[in-house]
Amino acid sequence: MISMAGALLASLALIGRPVEGSSLACSARARTAEASPGLGAHRDDRADASAFAVKLEMTCKNLGKAALRISKHNLPWVNPNVVELISVELNDGAKTLKRSGLIADPIPTVVTIPVGGSVIGSIDLLESFPELVESLARGGVVVFWSYAPEMIPSYSLETSAGAVILGRRGAKSRNR
C-alpha cells in the first residue's frame, strides 16, 4: 500500500516533467533605430540616447510535437528577470556593464504556442544597461544571453543561449 506521502511525491514528480517531444528554440538579434553598424560611435553624451534604440529581439519557436503553454510573465521581454543578460565592452579592458535592477509585475495571462508557432518580443538594452550608450561611444559591446523557459504545468525546457555584437564591429548574432 502506498503511503499518503509517497502518493504526494509521485504526483509532484509528474508535475515537473516536460511533455515528451517538447522543444522551444529561442534565438536573438540586435535591432537598432539607426542603420549604421557604428551605432553609438559618434555619441558622446546620455542626451543622445533618446535619439535611438537598442533592442534584443527574441524569437522562441515551438519545435515540439505538442502545443506549449507558458505564463506571459515567464517571457523574457515581459519579465527581464527570467533571462540572463551580460554585456561586455569589446576593448582591451573588457569592462562588464552593470545591469539595472528592473521590476516586473506578474501577468496572469497564459500564452499557447502551437506546434511550429513562434512568439516574438524585444528587450530594451538601453533600459537594461544604463552605461550602454557610453560603451558604444568607445567601441563595440557583446551581449550574452541565456533563457530557460518555465512552462505550464511547472517544468523547464532546455536553455537557449547566444550573443549579439553591437557597435563599431557591426551587429552580429550567434545563437544556440
The pLDDT tens digits for 18-44 are 445 678 889 999 988 753 444 443 333
pLDDT band at 150 (very low <50, low <70, confident <90, very high): confident
Distance CA 166, CA 162 (A): 14
Query: What secondary structure letter does DSSP report for 1?
Result: -
Query: What secondary structure letter does DSSP report for 91?
Result: S
What residues does each domain of the chain span? Answer: 4-175
The predicted pLDDT at position 34 comes to 55
Q: 48-70 pLDDT, tens per residue?
A: 444 568 999 999 999 999 999 99
The predicted pLDDT at position 152 comes to 83
Report the topology of domain 4-175.
Immunoglobulin-like (2.60.40)
The Cα diameter of the chain in Å comes to: 74
